[in-house]
Structure 1
């Protein structure tokens, strides 16, 4: 039998149900690993070091500890969103998603670090809240769900919860070498979450197997877990590759790994159809992706705080931002709206128009989903700020990392990143599948089949804590 920390969620659940290990013994094994990897900085505080009362409840998640991003409420545990003004904010009730996990028997391993207020793609923070990439501690884990991705990849927990507005589940999962799933917008409960964009935000899941993503999706969506087909489907899947959009200007190592993954799928009989024409105007879509959250953030923060009878307001939160990059984005909101009503409506119109066009494109080529590299470049070095180096150029970090993930969020589509391999220096590369809205279970099944033909990725951890 493998070491307990190597178990997937499904394997841990089976071992617990069959009595191979007790809940206390399993938790103790994971806590030992968490202490060994304290330099990873995946967790906000010591929360979770003491077992919670829920740990012995039966259910499909039977006593397995999970990591929870620190913008998702767990009763009597601080929800800080890694921002100073909320450092002492303690909700009295569970978020809707965590209540469903508790009802299924899960326990809390801890709240995880994140890019402040979920407004970033690297996980960088000015203090001890910067999660390291488990594959290389000199690099960032990605964001904004950085700590959850790092904890799962470092095998401290088998799975965890994050949130995704434009790529915040899928980016860190890809950069850390694990799986990340953003469901169709609205599929999971949204009560008890510090949101920055109610029309774009969703809770998502990070794990080390598609089976675990399917299990957690069933719990969080309230759906019955579907059974996989007993035999392989006779018809090979068809995927569309947006060559002119999400395959353009890739880091050479990312391109090499992604093309090799495609070769493996073709060898297995999959049909990959190149799309030579752009799916959308990248600049227009990026503007739509950023305009909507900027228009909604202040109201979303105030609604959350009022719902907790908090004396704090969005004003006090924004006045006390810690991160330079987040302050540069959000400080202008202190002086009034930065997105007008007409621009806000136009951004939503761009989303609707480009989603319809994307759906027509899929149908025209007979494809089930789009296939792309998840990020155009591997994990960034520590110290990366608002700008980063790409080749010989300085490029904006935020726009670079969300380039291939933003469209699914704008459209409300489910999106899944799978580990595709490693660069020559060992950094993980992710492969992204995007399917039409409300095709979540079909996408997860497609991901299960796809993962069978992708190379096993290496997540050899750096043992030396920074």
Structure 2
């Protein structure tokens, strides 16, 4: 029998409705887990907010405590984005996404640690702000929504909110062994979130299963109930972009992801290899990086001004603590680092490559692309600008966003599911990318995929 701290939101709500557990008893289970696993550093220190045991039960999230990434505003709670200048920044109003969660009955378990200013893929920070991976405490949780992913994977909360600009929900979800969803850009409101790039940013959700992701999709869109999409023809068809997303993989990631694909084939799914590259990887990566760098300074200034915050963008950038984030963002103090021509070129790359990807899906008759979420498992603590991938050195940032960046650049919905574990027990994610505004279809496809994979996936080891 699954213990309460490992229930999904759907399971917890059902247990409360049936009288098997009260909201207070469920909360006690989770807070006990949080205390026991404080060493994971999933939550911001000194922000021990715990929801009331009298959380409103009538809403779809009634009685459910959630984790919220520390760049998403919750009124009266500091929003620091894990950067020193914002440590006393306490917004007076909720972000739009948290307001919708609260109106649906959710409570706040706490704000979670993150890669500083959401500009990183590992979650590495100063010690107390670096979330450890529940699968192996000597490994990083991934970023930038590191603490939320660690809290969900560890059974401290059943779900939580993160943000995703280039992979910041999907990467940590995959590396910690849970599900993560980035919606089509613009699907959820962005008010009240410390920004990186208005063109690319979106709030996303990390949870233990796709049914929960569908529930949150309805809540965050403001829908009364999840919408059931038209059924896919049976069996589903997926496109496998061999020449772009399946190259230069860590051998254990390749083995685990291929085994997951074999499970789908055995279940009757059709997986069609695409031997030709969908895009030039270097060109797409350039577009992925150029637009955020062109937008961050103005977007951050607008956020601070909108909150009546006395801080300036210069103050925030000058006080950055993480060396990797400082190296990327302090050049913005001296003026634009991306000229208008490069920004226009990046947008043209996004448009052209999205059209090519859509044509490839249509030609193959596929509903979505499938690939490993990351090319290598969770990196060790202490990983900096370089990481080892299958015996070679590679740049950490571009390595981890390589397979998540395309959907971000195109504005497509993207879903990572647990695919299995390496021989040493590190989680591997399987990524599904569908065309823009096909969110309902992608979540339906993910639910069916999840059911097949769960039937053969070994249980996660108990967290020490």
The question of a shared fold, defined as TM-score above 0.5 by the shorter chain, is answered with: yes
Conservation of the 8 A alpha-carbon contact between 1:421 and 1:458: no
1:356 aligns with 2:355: yes
Q: Residue deviations 1:78-126, cap 9 Å, x none?
A: 0000000000100011000000000100000000000000000000002
Conservation of the 8 A alpha-carbon contact between 1:200 and 1:293: yes
1:41 aligns with 2:50: no
Match of 2:133 in 1: 133
Match of 1:173 in 2: 173
Between the aligned partners of 2:357 and 2:209, the Cα distance in structure 1 is: 28
* SS of residue in 1 equivalent to 2:110: strand
Q: Residue deviations 1:233-257, cap 9 Å, x none?
A: 6620000000000001111000001
Match of 1:161 in 2: 161
- The TM-score with structure 1 as length reference comes to 0.97
Residues 188 and 54 (structure 1 numbering): CA distance in 2 closer, same or farther, change over 3 Å?
farther
* SS of residue in 1 equivalent to 2:238: strand
My pick for the range that moved more, 431-440 or 21-30, is 21-30
- The 5 A counterparts of 1:364-443 are 364-443=363-442
- 1:390, CA displacement in angstroms? 2.1
Match of 1:346 in 2: 345
Match of 1:306 in 2: 305
Residues 77 and 53 (structure 1 numbering): CA distance in 2 closer, same or farther, change over 3 Å?
farther
Between the aligned partners of 1:412 and 1:457, the Cα distance in structure 2 is: 33
Residues 224 and 50 (structure 1 numbering): CA distance in 2 closer, same or farther, change over 3 Å?
closer
Residues 416 and 422 (structure 1 numbering): CA distance in 2 closer, same or farther, change over 3 Å?
same
Between the aligned partners of 2:15 and 2:220, the Cα distance in structure 1 is: 22
Match of 2:196 in 1: 196
- 1:21, CA displacement in angstroms? 1.8
In angstroms, what is the RMSD of aligned CA positions?
Answer: 1.5
* SS of residue in 2 equivalent to 1:244: helix
- The 5 A counterparts of 1:137-156 are 137-156=137-156
Between the aligned partners of 1:53 and 1:31, the Cα distance in structure 2 is: 11
Conservation of the 8 A alpha-carbon contact between 2:13 and 2:61: yes
Between the aligned partners of 1:69 and 1:197, the Cα distance in structure 2 is: 17
Between the aligned partners of 1:278 and 1:179, the Cα distance in structure 2 is: 27
Q: Residue deviations 1:48-70, cap 9 Å, x none?
A: 54435982353000120000000
* SS of residue in 2 equivalent to 1:193: coil
Between the aligned partners of 1:326 and 1:413, the Cα distance in structure 2 is: 26
* SS of residue in 1 equivalent to 2:171: helix
* SS of residue in 2 equivalent to 1:452: helix
1:257 aligns with 2:256: yes
- The 5 A counterparts of 1:258-277 are 258-277=257-276
Between the aligned partners of 2:449 and 2:160, the Cα distance in structure 1 is: 22
- 1:369, CA displacement in angstroms? 0.3
Conservation of the 8 A alpha-carbon contact between 1:48 and 1:108: no
Between the aligned partners of 2:349 and 2:51, the Cα distance in structure 1 is: 47
Residues 324 and 458 (structure 1 numbering): CA distance in 2 closer, same or farther, change over 3 Å?
farther
* SS of residue in 2 equivalent to 1:257: helix
Between the aligned partners of 2:184 and 2:112, the Cα distance in structure 1 is: 23
Conservation of the 8 A alpha-carbon contact between 1:83 and 1:321: yes
Q: Residue deviations 1:332-390, cap 9 Å, x none?
A: 11111100011111111110110011001100111100000000000000000011122
My pick for the range that moved more, 387-396 or 403-412, is 387-396
* SS of residue in 1 equivalent to 2:402: coil
* SS of residue in 2 equivalent to 1:239: strand
Match of 1:182 in 2: 182
Between the aligned partners of 1:25 and 1:235, the Cα distance in structure 2 is: 42
- The 5 A counterparts of 1:264-303 are 264-303=263-302
Between the aligned partners of 2:327 and 2:227, the Cα distance in structure 1 is: 47
Between the aligned partners of 1:444 and 1:165, the Cα distance in structure 2 is: 20
Between the aligned partners of 1:314 and 1:385, the Cα distance in structure 2 is: 25
Between the aligned partners of 2:149 and 2:236, the Cα distance in structure 1 is: 29
- 1:461, CA displacement in angstroms? 4.1
Match of 1:456 in 2: 457
My pick for the range that moved more, 391-400 or 429-438, is 391-400
Match of 1:6 in 2: 6
Between the aligned partners of 2:229 and 2:460, the Cα distance in structure 1 is: 30
Conservation of the 8 A alpha-carbon contact between 1:115 and 1:123: yes
* SS of residue in 1 equivalent to 2:163: strand
Conservation of the 8 A alpha-carbon contact between 2:420 and 2:427: yes
Moved over 6 A (4+): none
Between the aligned partners of 2:188 and 2:205, the Cα distance in structure 1 is: 11
Conservation of the 8 A alpha-carbon contact between 2:251 and 2:390: no
Between the aligned partners of 2:273 and 2:23, the Cα distance in structure 1 is: 49
* SS of residue in 2 equivalent to 1:162: strand
Q: Residue deviations 1:5-25, cap 9 Å, x none?
A: 121101111122232222122
Between the aligned partners of 1:52 and 1:312, the Cα distance in structure 2 is: 33
- The TM-score with structure 2 as length reference comes to 0.97
* SS of residue in 1 equivalent to 2:108: strand
Structure 1, unmatched stretches of 5+, are none
Match of 2:114 in 1: 114
Residues 24 and 53 (structure 1 numbering): CA distance in 2 closer, same or farther, change over 3 Å?
closer
